Amino acid sequence: MKTVCAFLVLWFFGGCSSVYINPKSIAAVHERDPERNRAQVRLREAVAIANDFLVSDVRKTLPSGSLRLGDDGIVFSTAKDELAFRIKCSFSGDILIPFGMAAQERSWGFVVGTVPPRESRVLDNSLFKVPSGRILENCEIAGIILHELTHTYFRAGTVSFGKALQYYGESIFLLRYRSHTMERLPFRTSSEFEAFVVDHMKRQNSNQPNQQ
């Protein structure tokens, strides 16, 4: 048990070589101009897609609201409150990658990890790419943001040290992931968003003129 606790301390508070992922940090990357520009566009488009979902009839779990993307991060606004929502690439996010995870929630947002070629934490991370190098589409990025936003908004998951102990206790000893009690609301949002994307694609296809 002491070993598990020591690992969780290292995992939860590890902040070595960590950077925030936001428009300001992306703009500050001085090399790889085309990729930097693509990352800026994909993040903006992902937030726009998430906002379309948040005001749609498909959304049921999260409250109706909007995400505002600023230089320093995202703010989730509802009729009742506002929630600052940050994205960080850090050591604690790096630990997730070998287990096939892209992100994990925190009280202030979520962490992601580095992926090859690992030249820049701002660009080479699991918000924008998978380890094989495939670049994530804007709707995939939106899906990550909405899943983790649900964790943070409802404070379900690894949003504190105590809840991290509960989360991993249930994961390890009861072998739960999708059925995890702290994953039910986030996966409900993910299912709603998948239905939203499918419906959006069907509407786009129906609006296209028939090709002769």
How many distinct structural domains can be found in the chain?
Answer: 1
Query: pLDDT value at position 14?
Result: 52
- Please state, for a pLDDT cut of 70, what percent of the chain lies above it: 87
pLDDT band at 171 (very low <50, low <70, confident <90, very high): confident
Q: Rounded to two decimals, what is the model's pTM?
A: 0.89
Q: Residue 107: inside a domain, yes or no? A: yes
Q: In which domain, by residue range, is 106 found?
A: 13-199
Q: Residue 8: inside a domain, yes or no? A: no
Q: Residue 44: inside a domain, yes or no? A: yes
pLDDT band at 5 (very low <50, low <70, confident <90, very high): very low
Residues in the chain: 212
The arithmetic mean of pLDDT across residues 195-204, rounded, is 87
Q: Residue 102: inside a domain, yes or no? A: yes
Q: Residue 206: inside a domain, yes or no? A: no
- If one compares 2 and 200, the residue with the highest pLDDT of the two is 200
pLDDT band at 177 (very low <50, low <70, confident <90, very high): low
CA–CA gap between residue 193 and residue 181 (Å, rounded): 20
CA–CA gap between residue 199 and residue 194 (Å, rounded): 9
The DSSP secondary structure of 49-115, one letter per residue, reads HHHHHHTSSS--SSPSEEEEEETTEEEEEESS-EEEEEEEE-HHHHTTGGGT--EEEETTEEEE-B-
The DSSP secondary structure of 157-211, one letter per residue, reads SSSSHHHHHHHHHHHHHH--STT-TTTHHHHHHHHHHHHHHHHHHHHHHHHSPPP
Q: Residue 204: inside a domain, yes or no? A: no
Query: pLDDT value at position 209?
Result: 63
Q: Residue 75: inside a domain, yes or no? A: yes
Q: Residue 208: inside a domain, yes or no? A: no
Handedness of CA 93, 181, 79, 190 (dihedral sign): positive
**Is it the case that residue 1 has pLDDT exceeding 50?**
no
Query: pLDDT value at position 211?
Result: 53
